[in-house]
Amino acid sequence: MAEFENPYAAEDPFVEAHFDCLECGGKLWEYAIQGSMVCEDCRSTFRSTDVFDAQATGA
Ligand SMILES: [Zn+2]
């Protein structure tokens, strides 16, 4: 019997995002399923689209 595994079920759903927290500058982790990001330092959550916009206009 073939076995199929949902990678999201077995793996940590968070992936490292190469963006900085808009609040504290900490590292953001993207929560791909919900299209949101969470800061590892202050635990602030952001919508991915908001982070993209901020990174595009800022820097
Ligand atoms: Zn933060």
What pLDDT is attached to residue 6?
58
* Beta strand residue intervals within 1-59, DSSP E: 14-20, 27-31, 36-39, 45-47
**How far, in Å, is the centroid of ligand 1 from the Cα of 18?**
13
Q: Residue 3 has what DSSP assignment?
A: -
Of 3 and 46, the one with more pLDDT: 46
**How far, in Å, is the centroid of ligand 1 from the Cα of 41?**
5
What CA–CA distance (Å, rounded) separates 44 from 49?
15
What pLDDT is attached to residue 7?
54
DSSP string, 15-30: EEEEEE-TTT--EEEE
**How far, in Å, is the centroid of ligand 1 from the Cα of 6?**
30
pLDDT digits 0-9 by tens, 10-48: 566 678 778 899 999 999 998 877 889 999 999 999 998
At residue 8, does pLDDT exceed 60? no
What pLDDT is attached to residue 28?
92
pTM value > 0.75: no
**How far, in Å, is the centroid of ligand 1 from the Cα of 2?**
43
